[in-house]
Amino acid sequence: MSEHARPYTGPGDVDRLNGLGVSPGRSAGPLIRMAEPPELPAPGPVTDQAAEIATITKALEAVAIDLRTRSEATTDRTAAEILDALAMMADDPMLREDAERHARAGRDAPHALDAAFSRHRETLSSLGGYLAERAADLDDLKHRAVAAALGLPMPGIPSPGHPYILAAEDLSPADTAGLGDDVLALVTERGGPTSHTAILARGRGLPAVVACRGVLDLPDGTIISVDGRTGEIATGLTPEAAARIVDQDRAERNRLAATRGPGRTADGHPVKLLLNIGSAADLPPGPLDAEGVGLFRTEFLFLDRKQPPTFEEQVAAYAEVFARIGPVVVRTLDAGTDKPLPFLGLPPEPNPALGIRGLRVDRLLPAVLDTQLDAIAEAARATATTPWVMAPMVTTRAEAADFAARARSRGLTQVGAMIEVPAAALQAEELLAEVDFLSIGTNDLSQYTFAADRQHPSLADLLDPRQPALLKLIALCTEAGHALGKPVGVCGEAAGDPQLAPLLVGLGVTSLSMAPVCVPAVRDELSRHTIEECRHLASQ
């Protein structure tokens, strides 16, 4: 039991836990914990082979049914196709026969399943290419089947058949991408405010709280409320109290959604409100109420890939976004640290956040950036649009100049540099002389300015974007923009915080790029302040 949670005794026994609110909105409902993969116990003596075989059949059936239920419950077509493909793998008669053979040879059901899945995994891996990539899916299926055979809850994203709040130690980008529509909110014990779990939760518009110690001590089914702005979790609510919170949240979202149109201060000073996305799927359905995409994180398209995406695949993925909204700021691949791209095959490093990441990958693999720039240029031609391109982790003027030359040689006319490294902010004017715009990535700029891991739950105060040292670096960039008459935006998570928006605008920021879910509250807050008030706030 964590020091932060006292024993929970049942509904009506309301208690509170605190974490960091990282994705706005409130929700309430029953909590379900994400189970860890089961540990295989020591092999047991087998007295009844027929019973073991029956357990194998039932376990594989349970896995397939669970996956099909999740597929039917989601409105995300890609997720449904993946889940159906996994269900077919669980139904594979060869796999079942193999497990049964192991049972007849004297293994208990969990070990027979483990052996059968492991053999199939080896076969797939040896085939290489796309099939080898699917080998990891077999591990996931194996964990599920073994858990079912042991009578344990299935690991991975639960599918209880009703809406629920998901609690987990942490979520990988792949877990978060696979969440069904039945998830009301996320709470994790680990993670930080700018971790990619937080970013993905915001991308899906799910209230989320990270670094919430004690949440995994609550039993499944406890009704909790989640406040994704304050980070507060109330436990032990009655179903009526939970329903009231859901209604209030809906009313607040409706109120904010009623304010539409471009970003403006109260006296009409324009501030572009742009979207952060990882693929076309992150763009909300229907007409888009934003002035473009300010950060297209292209690496999110290819996170689980072991083979490099082809030129054609990239063209298709970029064109899909360009065709829906413009202008789009495409950020070239930002691989490394918490976003490893297996297909790059980068060597392990002792200190990856300070190593080969972002634009630095170009030092080892220049063809990757060249192909990506070719694909962006081709997608622009195919859709008759003018995307902007920018590089992550630019550190020196020479890097900015090299990137700009390579982009421009392909007809890409709007070229920018992200400011994520203090050295780049200190040289903002020199960098901006080489490019057309700057985009400040406050997540990494905080991490590198304060020497504080952006995922670290105990260093949240250092990662707070109100820190004066960070604001001074932002001011250096906006002053450079002002001097050269070029735009300087913010695309880190700070841009989506309504309380910060007037301050950033007062510092001279010309655009704010954020998860779609954050736009209404930022627009609403900006409309309440004149530009003079914003500047006054910044001068303080």
The smaller minimum CB distance to Mg ion, of residues 393 and 500, is found at: 393
Residue 497 binds to ligand PEP (criterion: CB under 6 A)? no
Question: Which of these ranges, 34-42, 91-99, 394-402, 435-443, lies near ligand PEP under the rule CB under 6 A?
Answer: 435-443
Q: Which residue has the tokens 């992200």?
A: 418
Contacting residue, 444, 474, 504, 508, with ligand PEP by CB under 6 A? 444
Of the residues 212, 491, 518, 534, which is catalytic? 491
* Pairwise CA distance, residues 516 & 486, whole Å: 25
Q: In the complex with Mg ion, which residue's Cβ is closer, 246 or 353?
A: 353
Q: How far is the CB of 369 from ligand PEP (least distance, A)?
A: 17
Give 336's DSSP letter.
B
Query: Alpha-carbon distance 495 to 11, whole Å?
Result: 38
Nearer to ligand PEP, 196 or 529 (CB): 196
Other Cβ atoms less than 10 A from the Cβ of 47: the count is: 8
Q: Cβ neighbours of residue 462 under 8 Å, at least 6 residues apart?
A: 446, 450, 452
Site string for ligand PEP, 381-420 (x = CB under 6 A): ---------------------------------------x
The amino acid that residue 221 corresponds to is G
> In this complex, which beta carbon is closest to ligand PEP, that of residue 436 or of residue 444?
444
3-state SS assignment for residue 178:
coil
Which residue ranges make up the site for Mg ion (CB under 5 A)? 420, 441, 444
Q: How far apart are CA 390 and CA 491, in angstroms?
A: 12
Q: Where are the alpha helices (DSSP H) in 9-134?
A: 49-73, 77-90, 93-104, 109-127, 129-133
Residue 497's binding partner out of ligand PEP, Mg ion, none, with CB under 5 to 8 Å set by partner kind: none
Partner that binds at residue 297, options Mg ion, ligand PEP, none, CB closer than 5 to 8 Å by kind: ligand PEP
Which of 247/349 has CB closer to Mg ion? 349
Alpha-carbon gap, residue 111 to 44, rounded angstroms: 9
Per CB under 6 A, the segment of 179-187, 211-219, 306-314, 438-446 that binds ligand PEP is 438-446
- In 3-state terms, what secondary structure has residue 418? strand
CB 484 within 8 A of CB 468: no
* 159, interface contact from ligand PEP, Mg ion, none, CB < 5-8 Å by kind: none
Residue 441 touches ligand PEP, criterion: CB under 6 A: yes
Say if residues 142 and 118 touch (Cβ distance below 8 Å).
yes
CB neighbours (10 Å) of residue 289? 17
Cα–Cα distances in angstroms (integers) from residue 99 to residues 107, 118, 120, 508, in the given order: 9, 10, 11, 65
Residue 334 binds to ligand PEP (criterion: CB under 6 A): yes
| 383 interface partner picked from ligand PEP, Mg ion, none, CB below 5 to 8 A per type | none
Residue 110: CB minimum distance to ligand PEP, A: 40
Beta carbon of residue 516, minimum distance to Mg ion (angstroms, whole number): 19
Hey, which residues between 108 and 137 contact ligand PEP (CB under 6 A)? Answer: none
- Looking only at residues 133 through 172 of this chain, which bind ligand PEP when binding is defined by CB under 6 A? none
Residue whose CB is less far from Mg ion, 204 or 454: 454
| Minimum distance of Mg ion from residue 420's CB (angstroms) | 5
- For residue 202, state whether it binds ligand PEP (rule: CB under 6 A): no
In angstroms, the CA 342 to CA 135 distance is 14
* Residue 196 falls in the annotated catalytic set: yes
Give whole-number Cα distances, 123 to 89, 131, 138, 149, 433, in Å: 14, 9, 11, 23, 54
Supply the minimum distance, in Å, between the C-beta of residue 422 and Mg ion: 13
Cβ-proximal residue to Mg ion, closest one = 444
Contact with ligand PEP (CB under 6 A) among 193, 492, 498, 502: 492
Which residues inside 80-99 make contact with ligand PEP, applying CB under 6 A? none
Residue showing tokens 């499944």: 220
Handedness of CA 274, 174, 213, 445 (dihedral sign): negative
- Kindly state whether residue 443 participates in binding ligand PEP, applying the rule CB under 6 A: yes
- Binding test (CB under 6 A) with ligand PEP, winner from 55, 74, 197, 442: 442
Beta-carbon-side half-sphere exposure of residue 492 (alpha carbons within 13 Å): 29
Size of the site for ligand PEP (CB under 6 A): 10
Report in angstroms the alpha-carbon separations of 475 from 72, 426, 435, 450, 478: 50, 10, 18, 17, 5
Residues 6+ positions from 387 with CB-CB distance below 8 Å: 318, 322, 326, 327, 328, 329, 330, 376, 379, 380, 412, 414
Kindly name the residue from 102, 196, 212, 529 that is annotated as catalytic. 196
Q: How far is the CB of 196 from ligand PEP (least distance, A)?
A: 7
- Asked if residue 275 binds ligand PEP (CB under 6 A), the reply is no
Ramachandran category for residue 259: left, alpha or beta (phi over 0 → left; psi -120 to 50 → alpha): beta
* Burial (CB count within 10 angstroms: exposed 0-12, middle 13-18, buried 19+), residue 295: buried
Smallest gap from Cβ 441 to Mg ion, in A, equals: 4
Coil, strand or helix at 166:
strand
Which CB sits closer to ligand PEP, 20 or 295?
295
Cβ-based nearer residue to ligand PEP, 225 or 513:
513
CA distances from 207 to 184, 227, 233, 258, 525 (A): 8, 7, 11, 20, 19
Binder of residue 492, out of Mg ion, ligand PEP, none (CB less than 5 to 8 A by kind):
ligand PEP
Q: Pick one of 33, 204, 297, 406: the residue that binds ligand PEP (CB under 6 A).
A: 297
Of 218 and 490, which CB lies nearer to ligand PEP in the complex structure? 490
User: Would you count residue 282 as binding ligand PEP (CB under 6 A)?
Assistant: no
Binding site for ligand PEP (CB under 6 A): 295, 297, 334, 420, 441-444, 491-492
Catalytic residues: 196, 491
